[in-house]
Amino acid sequence: MKLWGGRFESGPSEVFEKYSWSLHFDKRLVEADTRGSQAFARALSRVGILTAEECARLEAAFAEIRTEAGEPTYFDGAPDEDVHTFVIRKLKEKVAGLADKIHTGRSRNEQVSLDTRLWLREASVLTQQKLAALMEALLQLARRHESAVVPGYTHLRRAQAVLWPHYVLAYFEMLARDWQRFENARRAANVLPLGSGALAGSGFPFDREAIARDLGFEAVTRNSMDVSADRDFVLDYLYAASVCMIHLSRLAEDWILYSSEEFGWLELSDGVTSGSSLMPQKKNPDSLELLRGKSGRVLGSLNAMLYILKGLPTTYNRDMQEDKEQLFDAV
């Protein structure tokens, strides 16, 4: 099924459909999509488009879809172009013609923006939690060897002796700044776009502040043309992730060097290293090398997103479908 039609006498070609479909990667937005649609159903009820009974049926159906989506095979063989059409098709299977009412006064442009913001808001919090756990691990590592003296380097040449905690806490400070950057990204995403329509607002008197409170948003967007094309919040997360990965890559490089025979004052445990199929004496720092390598993917996602957005005319363009693969991979 499709959420558009109107002037078209025939459907898109099979080649174009395969080229443009995004369900294989945007299906991870299904929870955000159903939660956003539940809130929109409540908004439609408040302006009299849905009865209380219709709203309750739709809310229950969206909850069922969200639960069913946890099944590994739920999306197998789906003939839908994206997660939004998938959810609407599943909704029609549950509530028949009532499903058509859920798009009253709502554009897919604002729906995509809402889903991405909801998903990224949660992803930012999870990233911050994992970052806080890493920072705590660094504190524990610093305390474990409080009096250890290690070389401090400039130009990769021995410069001054420093305490091990002083060295480790340098990375703690970097990660603390990263945590704040992810907080800024979360706040940038935490603004409600619903009510903006495709680009010129909605003809229905939706209480946007009430929808924002319903979904836990801190504010509402102010300009419908701006929000239609706004992916700054995606860039904010990707920038925060890129800087964080640069810091982690530097840490990995330090420990790869310091654990080598040439430096020889740090030892990596067996649990994070591998051996050689030919040279039994080897203890390879594979985990750190992979961390260093994966940082390039995250930086690549930021650069790809910048290039996707750099030449777009005002308001929504289909190019922005490409934001999700960059974002999902980086997260």
Range of the domain at 168: 107-208+215-330
CA gyration radius, the chain: 25
CATH of the domain at 91: 1.10.275.10
CA angle 271, 260, 257 (to 5 degrees): 95
| Distance in angstroms (rounded) separating the CA atoms of residues 73 and 68 | 10
CATH of the domain at 322: 1.20.200.10
Res 18: pLDDT? 85
Q: Do 118 and 93 share a structural domain? A: no
Asked whether the beta carbons of 212 and 257 are under 8 A apart, the reply is: no
Instruction: Convert the pLDDT of each residue in 244-257 to its tens digit.
Output: 999 999 999 999 99
Q: Do 176 and 320 share a structural domain? A: yes
Q: Do 188 and 45 share a structural domain? A: no
**Three-state SS for 153?**
strand
Residue 38: phi and psi, rounded to 5, are -60, -45
Measuring CA to CA, how many Å separate 46 from each of 50, 55, 198, 208, 212? 8, 10, 21, 11, 14
Q: Do 158 and 229 share a structural domain? A: yes
The answer to whether residue 3 sits within a structural domain is: no
| Distance in angstroms (rounded) separating the CA atoms of residues 56 and 41 | 9
Q: Do 322 and 179 share a structural domain? A: yes
The answer to whether residue 255 sits within a structural domain is: yes
Res 10: pLDDT? 66
Number of domains within the chain? 2
The mean pLDDT of the chain is: 95
Res 281: pLDDT? 85
Active-site pick, 10, 13, 147, 155: 155
Res 93: pLDDT? 97
The answer to whether residue 224 sits within a structural domain is: yes
- Residues 6 or more apart from 250 whose CB is under 8 A from it? 171
Q: Which of 234, 242, 212 is nearest to 112 (CA)?
A: 234
What is the pTM assigned to this prediction? Answer: 0.93
- Residues 6 or more apart from 132 whose CB is under 8 A from it? 179
The answer to whether residue 4 sits within a structural domain is: no
Res 329: pLDDT? 97
Q: Using the 3D structure, point to which of 80, 104, 128 is the last residue of a domain.
A: 104
Is 24 in the active site? no
Residue 143: phi and psi, rounded to 5, are -70, -30
Res 135: pLDDT? 98
**Three-state SS for 46?**
helix
Q: Using the 3D structure, point to which of 79, 104, 129 is the last residue of a domain.
A: 104
The answer to whether residue 293 sits within a structural domain is: yes
- Residues 6 or more apart from 110 whose CB is under 8 A from it? 193, 194, 195, 196, 197, 198, 227, 228
Average pLDDT of each block of 10 consecutive residues along the chain (331 residues)?
58 83 96 98 97 98 98 96 97 97 94 98 98 98 97 97 98 98 98 95 94 98 95 98 98 97 94 89 93 97 97 94 96 97
The answer to whether residue 259 sits within a structural domain is: yes
Q: Which of 244, 250, 255, 252 is nearest to 301 (CA)?
A: 244
What are the DSSP E strand ranges found in the chain? 149-154, 157-163, 191-192, 219-220
Asked whether the beta carbons of 67 and 30 are under 8 A apart, the reply is: no
| Distance in angstroms (rounded) separating the CA atoms of residues 31 and 119 | 8
Q: SS3 helix, strand, coil % of the chain, rounded to 5?
A: 65, 5, 30
Res 14: pLDDT? 83
DSSP annotation string for 78-128: ---SSHHHHHHHHHHHHHGGGGGGGGTT--HHHHHHHHHHHHHHHHHHHHH
Q: Do 153 and 62 share a structural domain? A: no
Q: In Å, how far from its chain's centre is CA 76?
A: 23
The answer to whether residue 229 sits within a structural domain is: yes
Q: Using the 3D structure, point to which of 78, 104, 130 is the last residue of a domain.
A: 104
Res 19: pLDDT? 87
Q: Do 144 and 56 share a structural domain? A: no
